[in-house]
Amino acid sequence: MKRAITILATLGGVGSALPAQGTPAAPPPRSFSANVVHYGKWATAASAIGLTILAAHEHDRANANWQRLLALCQGDNAACMLRSDGRYVDYQAELYYQETLYYDHRARHRILGAQLSVLTSATLFILDLRHHNDNPPNIPFSGSRLELTAEPSGDGARVGMRVSF
């Protein structure tokens, strides 16, 4: 008897798979614009991070040049004298000041680029939501088609529900 059960169990496992047990149907392919939105949101988020790191690096370089200028001025007060056109008399002091301005300018542009990338990424994340329908295809009722309303009226409130098919 045990041998018969073992043979039947073995033969039952050897049979071919039923159609419902096969591989699930692949979702329909996305359009080009849906792919741009879906992958672009990650690219813009990565660029925001990269630009922020670069801006911090440029700010550090500007800050280092400013600290050198302050050290030069504290060591020799005559080095920080200004000419009539607003430039430093000492060449090294003027160089430190111009490098500070240069790196601050670069840091500012990179921060603005990072902020623009964050805004673009947020927009793409929101736009990507409309391409997703996370409901399984075998569930006929979608909760997003249910609309509930509540309005004040008289002594209470009027509650409504609308289901669109």
Six-digit token pair at 88? 């430093």
**What is the reported pTM?**
0.61
| Partners of 11 in the β-ladder | none
Quote the pLDDT of residue 165: 59
Please say if the pLDDT value at position 48 is more than 90: yes
pLDDT digits (tens, 9 = 90+) for 113-125: 999 999 999 999 8
pLDDT digits (tens, 9 = 90+) for 52-94: 999 999 999 999 999 999 999 999 888 889 989 989 999 999 9
Banded pLDDT at 3 (limits 50, 70, 90): confident
Percent residues over pLDDT 70 in the chain: 73
Please say if the pLDDT value at position 130 is more than 60: yes
Quote the pLDDT of residue 114: 97
d(CA 37, CA 120): 10
Count of CA atoms in the C-beta half-sphere (13 A) of 27: 10
Domain ranges of the chain: 32-132
d(CA 48, CA 69): 31
Banded pLDDT at 104 (limits 50, 70, 90): very high
Banded pLDDT at 111 (limits 50, 70, 90): very high
